[in-house]
Amino acid sequence: MTDNLHQLRCFGCGARIAGADALPDFRCAACGDLFEVEYPGWSQRRGPDRPNSGALKWLWRERKSSSEALDQSGVWRFRELLPILDSFGNAVTLREGNTPLYHLHRASKALGIDQLFAKHQGMNPSGSFKDTGMTSAMSVARERGFEWVACASTGNTSAAMAAYAARAGLRSLVLIPDGKIAWGKLSQAMDYGAVTCQLMADFDGCLTLLTQIVKEAPIYLLNSVNPYRLEGQKTPAFEIAEAFDWDVPDHLIVPGGNLGNSSALGKGFREMRELGLVARMPRISVIQAAGANPLVRSFAASHGAELEPVEAHTRATAIRIGNPASWRKAARVIQDTGGWCLDVTEAEIAISKAELGAEGLGCEPASAVTLAGLKKLRAEGKIRSNETVVLVLTGHTLKDADYTIDFHRGTLLTEEESAGNEAEINARRRNAVVVDASAAAVLSAMRSSAG
């Protein structure tokens, strides 16, 4: 008896192959596109043979109170919807997922949207959403007997991969762009024992090089071109639906970098609808930084049919990506759900990040594009006040403390970048002040602090 019920289907030409037959770079031998995991059994089971959605919903909730490692994982408690392993006993888990969904009190009020929430994926074991995809893909790596795993990364993938590799007893290789990743993330890769190479290249260059390397040596590629990553990363969609009692929010807003996450969440909602677990899909919108916006340009030029890579620049280093691998999948999610793709400036990102901090949540800069994007969508009349909106916060605020400190010290943005937003920026800044060690000086500092 195997737990494995999947095959791979090429997103481009539709070719189907067994999971074990994928090439090391996870590209289709016929057309070069990426694969998606599919479960042929699901479509064959119709009528009374369909999975009993009521029983599954009950089981998944029940597992939350179990003491089994697999049940305690917010990914594997949904394992009926990711049968990718020969044995679920091979899963490598750090009890990822089950992340909180917070109501955003202040932003709700400011934007006039009552039902505004943040799904905080930064509350995962290594501090980002990558853990949900790493548990699934690392488990496949271990089951298939690999000794080495590798990724190119803007930081979070490498932190997650290094942690899960260490748990699995595998060696890990990280390629990162020199000087362009946040220290918190680099420190994690070191702490978890990865071989870390800083290259004089951007993320896109690192991924291109790694693609060559995995063809020359038996190393398992763990970037989101690996379709098993997306299987874990689809599970926050299940958690969100569960949190809304199996209704879905009207609108989900996701940051876009290499575009694996938006693709995965879209897949999660699509599968739930196909299996009759939910009745509809939310609109899914993808927000990019203005300096790293190839998908936004693609939508403007060809409604997501062609993509021209760009040279990427943004202080939100996690999404500093000019040639996103999963762009076709993400474009389809946006098109199928009636979502939007837009970009936001460096100042808009910084202000939104500070606002999320002031809600007591905090997140890393790349996550804050979601709130910045929501503000734009709301201003353009694309989101009504009675809609339920969920922002996906992808990384923890401590990942990039330098960015936060620079913002509050007033050294983050250039004059040009801040132009027109000075008042809003200054209202948000809370720089630490040096004062005498006396009660009078501290009380005076309190009194002179803005609102």
Residues 202-241 that bind ligand F0G (CB under 6 A): 224
**Residue span binding ligand F0G (CB under 6 A) among the ranges 54-62, 71-79, 150-158, 276-284:** 150-158
**Residue span binding ligand F0G (CB under 6 A) among the ranges 51-59, 89-97, 155-163, 412-420:** 155-163
Residue whose CB is less far from ligand F0G, 131 or 355:
131
Smallest distance from the beta carbon of 147 to ligand F0G, in angstroms? 22
Residues 317-336 that bind ligand F0G (CB under 6 A): 318-319
Q: Does 85 bind ligand F0G (CB under 6 A)?
A: no
Smallest distance from the beta carbon of 102 to ligand F0G, in angstroms? 17
Q: Which of 367, 370, 404, 418 binds ligand F0G (CB under 6 A)?
A: 367
Do 161 and 137 contact (CB within 8 A), yes or no?
Answer: no
Output the CA torsion sign for 66, 127, 162, 266.
positive
Smallest distance from the beta carbon of 439 to ligand F0G, in angstroms? 41
Residues 247-306 that bind ligand F0G (CB under 6 A): 255-261
Distance in angstroms (rounded) separating the CA atoms of residues 286 and 252 = 9
Residue with tokens 């179990």: 66
Do 122 and 399 contact (CB within 8 A), yes or no?
Answer: yes
Q: Which of 28, 277, 289, 366 binds ligand F0G (CB under 6 A)?
A: 366
Residue whose CB is less far from ligand F0G, 63 or 329:
329
Smallest distance from the beta carbon of 158 to ligand F0G, in angstroms? 6
Residue whose CB is less far from ligand F0G, 141 or 319:
319
Q: Running DSSP on this structure, what letter comes out for residue 139? A: H
CA 297: distance to chain centroid?
A: 21
Q: Give the number of other Cβ atoms within 10 Å of residue 339's Cβ.
A: 24
Output the CA torsion sign for 442, 448, 449, 451.
positive
Q: Does 136 bind ligand F0G (CB under 6 A)?
A: no
Residue whose CB is less far from ligand F0G, 387 or 406:
406
> Rounded to the nearest 5 degrees, what angle is found at the Cα of 310, between the Cα atoms of 298 and 410?
110
Residue whose CB is less far from ligand F0G, 72 or 99:
99
Give the binding-site size for ligand F0G (rule: CB under 6 A). 22
Q: Which two tokens stand for residue 448?
A: 């002179």
Residue whose CB is less far from ligand F0G, 156 or 285:
156
Q: Does 127 bind ligand F0G (CB under 6 A)?
A: no
Kindly give, in sequence order, each residue whose CB lies less than 8 Å from that of residue 11, ignoring residues fewer than 6 positions away: 33, 34, 35, 36, 328, 329
Smallest distance from the beta carbon of 410 to ligand F0G, in angstroms? 24
Which residues does residue 171 pair with via DSSP β-bridges, in sequence order? 148
Q: Output the 3-class SS for 240-259.
A: HHHHCCCCCCCEEEEECCCC
**Paired sense of beta strands 388-393 and 251-255, if any:** parallel
Residue 386 to residues 239, 352, 364, 403, Cα–Cα distance (Å): 22, 22, 28, 34
User: In the stretch 374-403, what mask flags binding to ligand F0G with x, by CB under 6 A?
Assistant: --------------------xx--------
Q: Which residues bind ligand F0G (CB under 6 A)?
A: 128, 130, 153-157, 224, 255-261, 318-319, 364, 366-367, 394-395
